[in-house]
Every structure is written in C-alpha cells, then in structure tokens.
A and B are shown apart, each in its own frame.
Chain A
Amino acid sequence: MNNFPLFPDQASTFAPQIDLLYGVLVALSLLFAGVIPFVILFLIVKYHRSMKADRSNPVHSNLKLELTWSIIPLILALGVFTWGALLYIDMRRAPDDTLEVYVIGKRWMWHTQHPNGKRENNELHVPIGQPVKLIMTSQDVIHSFYIPAFRIKQDVLPGRYTTMWFEATRAGEYHLFCAEYCGTEHSRMGGRVVVMSMADYQTWLTTPGEVILPDGVDAVADGGVVAGPAVGDPMALAGQQLFTNLGCVGCHRDDGAGQGPSLVGLFGAQGQLADGSTVLADENYVRESILNPNAKIAAGYQPIMPSYQGQLSEDQILQLVAYIKSLGDTSGN
C-alpha cells in the first residue's frame, strides 16, 4: 500500500483543518451524487413508457419546490464559502514571530536562503513547531512553490515578492513541487522539504561545510534561530556592505540629515508619501523603491534617486531588503 496512497501526509498545522473541510465537502458530494442518480433511476424505471403508472395531473412548475431546491443549496454553498474563507484568512495572515526564509525560483531550480546565510538548492529544511514565512521571488517566469503535505501553494512572480507561511508538525521528508508551468523542465523543478526538530535544525543550520555564505561575509552568526534578520546576521550584513558599496549610505543617513530619508525604523511602518497618501513599508515597497525609486516619493524629499534596475541580482536585492528590515527592528528596541 506504500506505493498506492489515497490520502496525502499531514505535516503542517493547516493540513488537518483543510482535510476536515475537504472531508465535509466529500460527504456533501456523496449525499448529492448519491441521491440525485437514485431519484433519476427510480423515476426512469417507474415512468418508463411500458410501465403502468399514474400520469394524471402532471405538474409543470411549483414555486415552493423551486425555492426549496434553490435556497438549501445556496445556504450550503455559503456555509462552505464562509468556512473556506475563514481558513484562507488564517493562511494569509502570518504570525509575528516567524522564521523568515528567502526563496528564489528560476528555470528550473529553487534556491532557498536561511536568515543566517545558509543556502540550499531544491531543498528546504525547516524546524517543527516554528512558524516559517517564505519571502519569494522569481528570476524569470512565474513559478509556484507547492508543498502538498503542508496543503500550501503560492505563485512566485518575477519583479515582486509573494509570501506564504506554515508551521510544520511532523518530522520527515516531503515533496516540493513547482506547480505553475514554466517550460521544458517544469516537471523536474522541485525537490524535498525536510522537517526536523528544532535542535536538529539548529545543528543543521550551523554545520560548517554545508554553509554557502553570501559574498563578502566570512562568518556564520551565532545565536541560532532568530525571528527575521537582525543586525549582525549574514543576510543583513551582506546587505549592509552593499548599502555602503553602492553609496546608498551617502543619502540615506541614519541621522536623517541626508538627501534621502533615513531608513531606520522604516520597515513595517506606514510611510508618508509626497502625494499625501501613505504606504506600508513592506518587502515589495522596499524592492520597488530600489528598482523604480520615482514610483512612490517619500514626503519631504526630492525624486533624485537613480534606479538600480538591472544592476542588482535577486540575491542582492533580498540582502538589501534584509538589511533595511533589520534597521526597522532596531527602532523597535
């Protein structure tokens, strides 16, 4: 039977919840798909033209009946909608204390990078019992990050970040698929997700030899798992070096005296724009401001920043995002 499964593994907190809704839907379907053919079979036998049956006073319409079979399915459908919607809202709203892992999709590979800088190809190691948030982008076409055992999937787009979160519940190895058609090797674009205990994950994270450090960073930060990058983590550290090397620091001075706004405390806050509106400073906003600075001008500043479109790899943009994110954290402390 091992080679002929009928139900997928349940390995995240979402899996049992979605399976329950699925089970209820299957039960409802069996009810309807059982009753309707049964009624049809009964009628076509009873009223076959060779059968003697009472055919007097045939009815051609009945408002009560029409309303009954409109309203009951409508209530059931809306019930299913509400249940699915509540679950969906949970799935889209990540908790605050997530472990953030960056994902870059490209034809036909997945790159993942943990906050301490450890990178993987076509694999994702995650700890049990820790909410994990994936921040994902693509270097080329649309891909989709799909882990059936977790019941989650999210398209990964070029030019912007999409996110998805989960909390793994059972140790083991699970399929990782690309679910959005992306060309020749689409069906081979995948690998495995390894769920391990927190202790094992910590060990794995800091095991030398498997660590691929970002350019210019020579040590893995100790301190293990942290929620999001903090100052001193290789991702953020690499971002800080880029920030200096590219000259960003010349205008975006920490004390706010530069030609550009200070980025300290920016991330996660509502930013005031020149046109009077506000914007949530999230990953996509930071990304857009680097690549297309004039799209949203911070209030009180001139639109003088040049675009870095084409000058940075997706990796580097993510490092800058991690650095700016870490500046947001310090303001909170």
Chain B
Amino acid sequence: MSTTTGTIPRNYTTESSTSPLEWLKSWLLTIDHKRIAILYLLAINFFFLLGGAAATAVRIELITPSGDLMTSDGYNKMFTLHGVIMVFFFLIPAIPAVLGNFLVPLMIGAKDLAFPRLNLLSWYVYMGGGLFTLCAVVLGGVDTGWTFYTPYSSTYANSQVLLTAVGVFIMGFSSILTGLNFIVTIHKMRAPGLTWFRLPLFIWANYATSLIQVLATPVISITIVLLGLERIFGVGVFDPRLGGDPVLFQHLFWFYSHPAVYIMILPAMGVISELITTFSRKRVFGYEFIAFSSIAIAVLGFLVWGHHMFVSSQSVYAGLIFSFLSSVVAIPSAIKVFNWTATLYKGSISYRTPMLYALGFIGLFVIGGLTGLFLAAVAVDIHVTDTYFVVAHFHYVMVGGTIMAYLGGLHFWWPKITGRMYSEIWGGISAAVVFIGFNMTFFPQFVLGYLGMPRRYHVYPEEFQILHVLSTAGACDPGDRFYRAADLPAALAALRAHRWR
C-alpha cells in the first residue's frame, strides 16, 4: 500500500458520517460482517481483560498457604468469575466471532454471512448475556465455580447463581446463532467452483465448530433451565432431598462442556493451519487428513463427556468405555500436529510474528495433548482429577491453544482488518513473552497436581508453597501480557476508526 502520504484508502471503517451520533449508529446498527467482527473484538477483549484480572488476583492470593488477601468466599467468587468469564465470554466466542465473522465470507467469496441481521443480533445477545453476568458480579458475585455442580448450586449456594446462569443461558443463543449462520453460509454461499475440498482449512475448522455449537449448546441451555426450576421452585431434578439425581447434572453439563472445549480449540487449529502454510510458503501437508480430523474431533468430542466423571460414582463399565473413547480422540489431534510439522519440510520459512505464535501453539498443544493421555488412563485420572494437574492440562489445551491462535491470527489478519501493519518487533516479543510466561505459570501445576494439591483451594499445606510461588511468578507476567497484547490492537482499532472518519 502506498501510505507514505498518510492517506488511507476508502474501506469499511471509513464510511463518512455527518455527526458523532451518526457515526455511532453506523457501527451499532451495522449489518456488515466486518464491522460486527470489530464489535466482537472490542467486547471479547474487554471480557478477556476482566477474566485475566481475576486470574491475577487468584494467583496472587495463592502466593502464601494461608488466606490473607481475600476471604474464602471472596476467593471462591474470584475463581468462579475467572472461569465463567473466560470460558463463556472469551474462549468460546473468541476465534469464531472475531476472526470467523471477518474471514468466513471473504474466504469463500461471499458478500456477507447468510443472515447479516441475525449476525448483529447474536452480538447483542452476547452483550446481553455479558450484562447479566456483570450484574451478578456487581451484586455480590457467584461462588459455584464455572461448573455449577448441583446440589450446591441449586440448593446451598447463597450467591448470584441465577443471574449468572441467565447470563450464560443468553450467551448460549449467541453461540447457536453464529454457528447456524456459518453453517448456512458455508453450505450455500461458496463462490462457483469453490468445492468442499478446495475450502481453506480455517473454513473446515469453523464448520466443524459450528456443528458443535448448534448441536451441543441447547443441552446446556436446558440444563440451566432445570437448575433454575430447582433453585426457584424446588422442583426436584438434581437434589436428592427433592428426589433428584446430582450426577445427572454432571452428565448434562459435560455433554455440552466437553464439546465446548472443541468449540474453543477447533477454530484455533484452523488458524494454525493457515499460519503455518502462509509462512512456509507451501501448501499444507495432508489437506484431507487435517480437514477430516476436524470432523472426527467434532464427532468423537460428543462421546467422551464421561471422562470428567471417573470418580463421580459412574459405573465401572461407563468408566472403561469413556476411557477408551478418550484415548482414541487423541489421534486426530496428533494427526494435525504431524501434518503441520510435515508442512515445514521443503518450505521457505520466515519467522514473522504470526508464525512464532503458531509454533508456540504447537509446543503448548503437544504438552496439553500428551497430558490428556494421562487423564484418559482412568487409574491415573483417579489420583489427579480435581487437582492442579487437571487445571494445568486444560489451560494448556484450551487456553494456551486458543490464545496463541487468537493472537497469532489477529496479528496475521491485522493488516487485512485495519489497513495497518503491526509492529514486527513488538509482535515477536509478545509471542515470546506469552509463550514463556504461560509455561512458567502452568508447568509447575502439573507437579503440584501429582503431589495431590486439590483445585479450588483457598488455603493449602505449606509444602506446596514453592511451586505455587513459581506459578504465580509466571502468571504475573503473561496475565499482564495476555491482555495487553490482545488489547493493544483493539485499542488501536478504535482509535484509527475514529481518525479515519
């Protein structure tokens, strides 16, 4: 681009508007998928910042074995806030709603998504869900953990369970609408000649994700409704005192929440496929295998929810079957890693920021995937489930994986989104800092977990302190870097859009 004079070519961010109100309306009532992606970008990064701040508070509290910064209730509310915000308002929507919204129509040669108004609606629904959840925080917080296990959440907890649950319930619709929109768009609006096996792998990944969003999210919605019925009216569904079954809740919850992990990681894998090929200047190795492994993960992902419940009183047979399926689901993920590695062979590789994020993703994902095998082996899982081992594992997979891909993708498509280039130096530094900080934070937690440190503990035995301090040292670095790296582009986006007006 010839921007030496500073003039920016006319684009979707520079529509002329006569007054600030007009300008605001042009954004808030837009049905342009690109502008909606920007709206999502701002909102999602706000929640990322909030969830990150809660994480930092949790880690700082854990520097000492005794509870000295917060009360136990305060601590419980803090980790719940962290979990709810990060899972439902950052990790699940991050890549599909921002990068997907922006790129899916562009990549398949469509003018927009199939239902542009529905797309805008899904943003408002997302904001509505967020508002309810924020209200819950302001009105005292919620202390059930993001998992809302019954009968604690339905009968015993004295915090804002309902408001939070309503927030998550509403957010679910946003997720369903986005998924629906993508499925229809990808099926019906591909440019002539763009057959399924010519689609970019990012599209395949988003397609698989959308299937999960549409099929799994209604389950969590109805589960939340049942939880609400029990909490408000005492209808016995989950509490045994009312004739309910507490384990039923866990089955329903994980029937959604396990596939939800794939809602987070599949689009990330799609981003990584694009980044690796671009910066190797080479076609991806084993295109069909990567595409079908996305679908295999989406399908198998529905059949492994019981591996969250090996010690929940599930029968031995159920335990064995879920253990078997969980071991099998590791394979499509391994296939992707091997194919990405093979893509590098005979490529022409450059170490640009997005590539650094992509390589970092592979590093974190390999560790996350391998430790998943530990947890799939049911005898080992009995010891380490509900400990820091699990905490470390799922952060490596869904947090490390998603954040590396989200930031890598954001850098890569930044010029496309804004018309401006990011700083290569700062980009490279941010990739390195996030990668190192992430490992410093979460690697010690594997050791802690195998030692027997249970999760969600406000106070803990003294012998675990050194490992906790190490973990916190790492967290204060990326906890800070994470959102700075993510918010800097977002802040710039807002600023620039204003300047171009």
A-side interface residues toward B, CB under 8 Å? 2-8, 17-18, 21-22, 25, 28-29, 32-33, 36-37, 39-40, 43-44, 47-49, 53-62, 65-66, 69-70, 73-74, 77-78, 80-81, 83-85, 87-89, 91-92, 107, 140-142, 144, 146, 148-149, 151-155, 157-160, 162, 175, 177-188
Contacts and interface: CB of A to CB of B under 8 A. Distances in A.
B194 interface: no
A48 B454 contact: no
Given A44-B349, A158-B241, 4 more contacts: A7-B450, A22-B374, A88-B378, A187-B460
Interface string B368-382: 001101101111111
B76 A186 contact: yes
B496 interface: no
29 contacts: A22-B374, A25-B374, A29-B374, A47-B345, A56-B346, A58-B346, A61-B289, A66-B339, A73-B330, A74-B331, A80-B376, A84-B323, A84-B376, A87-B379, A88-B319, A88-B323, A141-B149, A152-B382, A153-B382, A153-B383, A155-B313, A158-B240, A158-B241, A179-B385, A181-B152, A181-B455, A184-B73, A187-B67, A187-B458
Interface in B46-65: none
A88 B331 contact: no
Contact of B379 (A21, A47, A48, A49): A21
Instruction: Please provide the 7 A-B residue pairs with the shortest distance between their CB atoms, ordered closest to farther.
Output: A148-B452, A159-B240, A84-B377, A87-B379, A187-B457, A43-B344, A81-B327
Interface string B320-333: 10011001101100
A142 B152 contact: yes
Contacts of A5: 451, 463
A70 B383 contact: no
B196 interface: no
Given A25-B377, A181-B145, A47 B466 contact: no
Given A53-B346, A58-B282, A73-B334, A28 B370 contact: yes
Contact of B345 (A28, A59, A70, A148): A59
Interface stretch (B110-118, B175-183, B358-366): B358-366
Contact of B454 (A53, A81, A154, A178): A178
Give the one of B239, B311, B342, B455 with max A CB within 10 A.
B311
B251 interface: no
B360 to A, nearest CB: 11
Given A22-B380, A158-B240, A187-B460, A141 B348 contact: no
A80 B76 contact: no
Contact of A184 (B72, B149, B344): B72
Contacts of B456: 181, 186-187
A177 B282 contact: no
Nearest to A21: B380
B143 interface: yes
Interface of B: 67, 72-73, 76, 143-145, 147, 149, 151-152, 155-157, 239-241, 246-247, 280-289, 311-313, 316, 319-320, 323-324, 327-328, 330-331, 334-335, 337-339, 341-342, 344-351, 359, 362-363, 366-367, 370-371, 373-374, 376-383, 385-387, 447, 450-452, 454-463, 465-467
Contacts of B379: 17-18, 21, 83-85, 87-88, 91
B288 A61 contact: yes
Nearest to A158: B240
A33 B443 CA distance: 13
Contacts of A59: 285, 342, 345-346
Contact of A4 (B152, B376, B466): B466
B463 A32 contact: no
Contacts of A18: 379-380, 383
Contact of A80 (B339, B345, B347, B373): B373
Contacts of A179: 311, 385-387, 454-455
A25 B283 CA distance: 34
B359 A44 contact: yes
A175 B461 contact: yes
The interface centre, meaning the residue of B319, B378, B382 with most chain A CB atoms within 10 A of its CB, is B382
B152 to A, nearest CB: 4
A66 B376 contact: no
Nearest to B244: A159
A201 B386 CA distance: 31
Contact of B380 (A25, A149, A178, A186): A25
Contact of A36 (B330, B331, B366): B366
A44 to B, nearest CB: 5
B380 A60 contact: no
Contacts of B371: 29
Nearest to A181: B456
A91 B380 contact: no
Nearest to A76: B373
A144 to B, nearest CB: 6
A144 B311 contact: yes
A43 B285 CA distance: 14
A39 B337 CA distance: 12
Contacts of A53: 346
A55 B374 CA distance: 39
A262 to B, nearest CB: 29
Given A61-B285, A187-B72, A151 B382 contact: yes
Contacts of A149: 452
B341 A39 contact: yes
- Among B73, B362, B363, B373, max chain A CB count under 10 A is at B373
B151 A151 contact: no
Contact of A84 (B151, B157, B380, B454): B380
A177 to B, nearest CB: 5
B313 to A, nearest CB: 5
Contacts of A57: 346
A202 to B, nearest CB: 29
B152 A182 contact: yes
A152 B379 CA distance: 9
Nearest to A14: B379
B38 to A, nearest CB: 33
A67 B45 CA distance: 41
B348 A49 contact: yes
B376 A180 contact: no
B337 A36 contact: yes
A61 B377 contact: no
A60 B323 contact: no
Contact of A83 (B281, B377, B381, B463): B377
Contacts of B157: 183
A225 to B, nearest CB: 27
B374 A70 contact: no
Given A33-B367, A61-B288, A181-B145, A159 B246 contact: yes
Nearest to A147: B452
A148 B287 contact: no
Given A40-B341, A49-B349, A187-B72, A70 B331 contact: yes
A264 B438 CA distance: 62
Nearest to B383: A151
B62 to A, nearest CB: 11
A257 B157 CA distance: 49
A55 to B, nearest CB: 5
Nearest to B286: A61
